Amino acid sequence: MSKILAFAGSNNSKSINHQLVKYVSSLIKDHELTVLDIRAWNVPMYSIDMDPDEIPEQITTLMNLIKEHDAFIISSPEHNGSTPAFLKNILDWLSRRSEGIFVRKPVFLMSTSPGKGGGANNMKQLIHSLPYQHASIASTFSLPSFYDNFKDGAVIGEHLGELHESVAEFKEAL
């Protein structure tokens, strides 16, 4: 049994990526899932001028959780075709303390948006950038048109099959 940490890289109190993370986590029954809610986090903007020993408490918490878990589900919004500043800032903080904090552990990378792109542009960027921190992208899933394809807390319709395939691919990597 693997310990899986799941979170959405959003500070939107009504985050659709957080809703997707909660649902997908509920599909993985045979592992220990922790859904981390970081929506209300207020992490200072990283600056190279900061004392390297003064890491914000929330970042230290996240670093420790990452060390304690075997695999990750991360769902990211897309802002202006790119990674939202909120998540990028957290990733930049994570990159300062440790050499490759994810240490080749598997990541199931997801995205969703109300638009037809489903955040796929940012997904491409994260597929490129997360391995800088030694994340091993085991599987991906992008849900377009969130409000058409997610009802009553669950993915519905034509993307469900693809989601189950992506979940299976992630589980194979555990």
Ligand X SMILES: Cc1cc2nc3c(=O)[nH]c(=O)nc-3n(C[C@H](O)[C@H](O)[C@H](O)COP(=O)(O)O)c2cc1C
CB closer to ligand X out of 47 and 80: 80
Per-residue x/- mask for ligand X, residues 54 to 93, rule CB under 6 A? -----------------------xxxxx------------
CB of 79 to ligand X, least distance (A): 4
Structural contact between residues 42 and 13, judged by C-beta atoms closer than 8 angstroms: no
Q: Would you say 15 or 166 has its CB closer to ligand X? A: 15
Longest pairwise C-alpha distance within the chain: 50
From the list 17, 122, 128, 29, the residue with the least C-alpha distance to 73 is: 17
119 binds ligand X (CB under 6 A): yes
Q: What whole-number distance in Å separates Cα of residue 153 and Cα of residue 168?
A: 20
Closest CA to 107 of 67, 74, 143: 74
Which DSSP category does 44 fall into?
Answer: P
Give yes or no for residue 117 binding ligand X (CB under 6 A): yes
Closer CB to ligand X, residue 8 or residue 66? 8
Nearer of residues 45 and 48 to ligand X, judged by Cβ: 45
Stretch 134-173 residues interacting with ligand X (CB under 6 A): none
* Dihedral over Cα of 112, 107, 3, 169: its sign: positive
Q: Which is nearer to ligand X, 56 or 117 (CB)?
A: 117
Q: Rounded to the nearest whole angstrom, what is the least distance from the CB of residue 87 to ligand X in the complex?
A: 9
CA pair distance 116, 56, nearest whole angstrom: 36
Q: List contacts with ligand X (CB under 6 A).
A: 8, 10, 12, 15-17, 77-81, 113-115, 117, 119
